[in-house]
Each structure stands twice: as structure tokens, then as C-alpha cells.
Amino acid sequence: MSLVPFDDRDGLIWMNGEFIQWRDANLHVLSHAVHYASAVFEGERAYDGKIFKLREHTERLFKSANILDFEIPFTMDEIDNATKELLEKNNIKDGYIRPIAWRGSEQMGVSAQQTKINVMIAAWDWPAYFSAEAKMAGLRMRISDWQRPAPNTAPTDSKAAGLYMICTLSKHKAESEGYDDALMFDYRGYVAEATGANIFFLMDDGKVHTPTPDCFLDGITRRTAIDLMKRGGYKVVERHIKPEEMAKASEAFLTGTAVEITPIQSIGDDYKFAPGKLSRYMIDAYDAEVHGRENNAAAAE
């Protein structure tokens, strides 16, 4: 299958306050962000022309920029309005949106106080690729060789570009070995997250357990999932989870803007799961939530 490169597409991109042709949305090779990863971004989804939890994503973009010691030169309202207008101009109903803010090329070196802060928003079609039935087959995962860093060694509360390099390395290793994704532990050895998604387990106590996000992102989809489970009568426990405790789980699934709700069938050779009632409920409940429909999914008894 031939890929369509992201620098050679039709459509418009919003960049620094203007809508420009997709192919003209460029930056210089000496931009600070290219060399020092001084960029923050978001991943958002549009369903039926409406962006799911747009404001929460915009707020996190601004929070991430603040953590990386720079200020986005637009208001949140301006970013939200530009995002909505971009969807309309590109005639996108079901799509993925990528806003990003980065330091420019005015300075080259570790110090970057005088760099201009650039902001870009792109959007492209992203329909639902997998049916609920296909998702219920579950992902095969391996355990990553990399660990999420400690909060005093990296800006772990931000969605910063540099934090994703070990995710790329982990994902590449997993795919090269025939897996779908990788599970990352944190710097203490506790279960953390996948390469771009949070994780949940239905444990033998009948409760849903998920790692405490104290060194990785508390995902917007993660919070949505917790709310949906509570509405469905499931009890959710946030805590530090030791790897060996995964043996006590009957179901497991990932949550994220891209993966939405995706069950897991195995993690390495030692941990097997059977996507069942909880996974089905979460897939159906999340689908109803993002489309603004009444949730008729079968909940916990």
C-alpha cells in the first residue's frame, strides 16, 4: 500500500492566524523545535462535523506550552474558532485534527527566549476503520524496553513532542516482532501506558483498575472512559499496578483519541485477556458519547 505523504496533500492548513494551502505550510530546517523538540501538540477527533471535547484539548495545549516555558500568541477562543472553521473549509465531517505550537528559527542553541512561537492546525479525513466486532478481537502487545521517565527528569504533565521518541521506538520494536503495540512501565517499574494510549484492567475483584497518571498524561479519553464506566455501574480504581498483577485481569483495553476504546487480547506471552462484556459496553458507550446519541449500551449488573 502506497502512503500519501503529509506534505503533499490538497486542502487548507491554519498557520499563525491565516488559512494557507496545505503544501505551503512549511518551517525552516533550523527551527528550534526540529533540533530541541520544543513543541507541544494535541490529537483531536471530529465526529459528524463536531470536534469531541475541543475546549479540553485546547486547554491542555496551552498548559503544555506553559510547562515548556512559552506562551501561545492566540487566545483559546481563537484556536477553537480556527479549528472549527478549518473543518468547514476542508469539508471534513469525520476527521483527525492536529494542532501544534513550536519555537521557530530566530535562535539556534539550547537557549531560546527570543524565538517566535508558531501555531499550526491541520485536519484530515479519518473515518472509523474498525467495526466493534473487529475491535473485539483485541490487540497483541509486547512489553517495551523503555520506561516512562520520572516527573523530575522530563515535563511529563505536558503533551510535548520530545516525550514521544521512546514511544516511536517502542512501537517500531513491537511491530517488527508482529505485535500491534507496546506496554510501557514507568520509572519505578509499575504499569504505565501504551505508546499513545492509557490502559485499563478488569480485575478479579470485579473492579476496573487503571494506573495513576503521575508520570504520564491523564488522557482526555481516559477521563471520558472513567465517567462512562461510573455511569454504567462499574467501580474504577486508580492506583499503582505491578506488572505481575496483570495476571489477575480478565479484560483489558486501551483508551485514546486515535484508538478510542480498543480491547487487548494479550501482553507478551504471560498475560492473556478475553474481551467481553466490559469491552463491549465501553466500545458502544464511547461511540454513543462521541456522536451525541443516547447510550443504550448494556452496563454492569
Q: What is the 3-state secondary structure (H, E, C) of the chain?
A: CCCCCCCCCCCEEEECCEEEEHHHCCCCCCCHHHHHCCEEECCEEEECCEECCHHHHHHHHHHHHHHCCCCCCCCHHHHHHHHHHHHHHHCCCCEEEEEEEEECCCCCCCCCCCCCEEEEEEEEECCCCCCHHHHCCCEEEEEEEEEECCCCCCCCCCCEHHHHHHHHHHHHHHHHCCCCEEEEEECCCCEEEECCCEEEEEECCCCEEEECCCCCCCCHHHHHHHHHHHHCCCCEEEECCCHHHHHHEEEEEEEECCCEEEEEEEECCCEECCCCHHHHHHHHHHHHHHCCCCCCCCCCC
pLDDT at 1 over 60: no
pLDDT at 213 (0 to 100): 98
**pLDDT band at 2, cuts 50/70/90?**
low
Percent of the chain with pLDDT over 70: 97
Return the closest-CA partner of residue 271 out of 222, 201, 216, 211: 201
pLDDT at 192 (0 to 100): 98
**Cβ–Cβ < 8 Å for 142, 113:** no
Tell me the pLDDT tens digit for each residue of 114-136. 999 999 999 999 987 667 788 99
Catalytic residue (one of 159, 173, 230, 242):
159
Active site residue 159: yes
pLDDT at 195 (0 to 100): 98
Angle at 239 (CA atoms; ends 236, 240), nearest 5 degrees: 145
Tell me the pLDDT tens digit for each residue of 41-85. 999 999 999 999 999 999 999 999 999 999 999 999 999 999 999
> Domains in the chain, ordered, with CATH?
12-125 (3.30.470.10), 132-290 (3.20.10.10)
pTM of the model: 0.95
Tell me the pLDDT tens digit for each residue of 29-43. 999 999 999 999 999
